Amino acid sequence: MNAMTRVLPRLAPESWRVVYAFLAAIVLFLIGEAVHPGFLGLASVETVLVIASFVGLVAAGQCFVVLIGGIDLSVPWVLNAGAVLLTTTSLGLDSRAPLAIVVTLGFGLLAGAANGVGVAWFGVPAVVMTLAMNGIVEGLVLGLTGGFTCAACSSYAPPLIQHLAHGDLLGVPAALWLWVGIIVLVSAVLSITRFGRATYALGNNPRAAALAGVNVNGTTILLYAASGLFSALAGIMLVGFGGQASLGMGDPYLFTSIAAVVIGGVNILGGRGYYLGAAAGAVSLTVLVSVLLALNMPDYVRSIVYGVVILALLLAYGRETES
């Protein structure tokens, strides 16, 4: 045992959880290959990773707010609104794509910042604030598009954005480059910047953080704004991938993004965890669903196995240490 501990690098429990999350993803890939030969083919793995990147983008925002003990339940309709805004603003034209992207991301940022203001300034519990925001955005999307019957609603995503979601760069899907960039960026922000340290401090003990000079309200608002931004970005990528927006397209991303974050070893009470783990969690969950789909499992089996695997992974390495 002593020899073991000497060989293995000394890692904090949170870091081990990132390692476990990656191991879980790899094991799930191997199980996929075992039950469905060809699952580990390059094209198949690429597809799984691209789909995982959409979950991963949402999980980046979710990770930010979970790190301060918050949660973002407004993901489904902020994402959905993002997708609708992108198509209705761009009308499928490349020339309008930059404007549409700015409008969409700006909207995500605003909706998220409003969440942050409610949580930070008005002291509304994050669950209530983001749940209300989800309803507000849902009502606005449905109402303003007339139940998605508007003329612009059937617009396609501009070819430029479809290319971004489907295209390759140096043999690797462009969506994966984007995700890798986001992973590096988010990890860097969290681990080496002042803002990142403020985030962890806030998650561990808000009072102590405030006494240490952390701008609690400002940091909270920025984190929620970032979450809204990432949801909107995921909406852009999804509409680029699927071509058109649809109502309810954001719904699966709520619980999946939370599951990805906790499977990735981020403490749901805040203060501990890394986005790299959440990214691995997003891959694990996507691989799991892909394997079950490849096996032609009926809906109900997929749903049950999904829940069982989440619980099994959490029981294996996500338990609270007894204090």
Partner 1 sequence: MPPDASAIALPRGSRLGHAIGQNIGLILGIAILLLAILGFVLVYGLEQRRLPGNFELTTTINSAMPLVFSAVGQTFVVLTKGIDLSVGGVVDLANAMAAVTMGKTLGSALFWSVVILLVGAACGLVNGLLVALGRLQPIVVTLGTLSIFQGLAIRVLPQPGGAIPPAFTDLLVNPNEPWALIFIVLLGFGWAAFRRSRPGVDLYAIGNDEAAARALGIDILRTKIIAYVLDGVLAAAAGLFLAATATAGDATTGDSYTLTSIVAVVLGGVSLFGGRGSAIGAIAGALITTLIVNILFFGHVDPLFQSFYEGVFLLIAVIAGGVIGGAIRRRR
Judged by CB under 8 A, does residue 177 bind partner 1? no
* Encoded tokens for 274: 């890394």
Smaller CB distance to partner 1: residue 242 or 252? Answer: 252
Contact positions with partner 1 (CB under 8 A) in 183-212: 207
Q: Are 163 and 104 in contact (CB under 8 A)?
A: no
Judged by CB under 8 A, does residue 129 bind partner 1? yes
Alpha helices (H) in the chain, listed in sequence order? 2-7, 13-35, 42-67, 75-90, 97-120, 126-144, 159-166, 174-192, 194-204, 206-211, 216-242, 252-263, 275-294, 299-317
Contact positions with partner 1 (CB under 8 A) in 264-303: 268-269, 299-303
Binder among 118, 173, 228, 271 for partner 1 (CB under 8 A):
118
| Axis-axis angle for helices 126-144, 75-90 (nearest 10) | 30
Nearest residue to 167 via CA among 58, 245, 241, 84: 241
Judged by CB under 8 A, does residue 318 bind partner 1? yes
- Beta carbon of residue 95, minimum distance to partner 1 (angstroms, whole number): 31
Q: Are 233 and 23 in contact (CB under 8 A)?
A: no
Q: Are 107 and 231 in contact (CB under 8 A)?
A: no
Smaller CB distance to partner 1: residue 90 or 130? Answer: 130
Encoded amino acid at 167, one letter:
G
Binder among 57, 133, 214, 234 for partner 1 (CB under 8 A):
133
Smaller CB distance to partner 1: residue 117 or 176? Answer: 117
Write out the residues near partner 1 by the rule CB under 8 A.
Answer: 71, 73, 118, 122-125, 127-129, 131-140, 142-143, 146-147, 207, 255, 258-259, 262, 268-269, 299-308, 310-311, 314-315, 318-320, 322
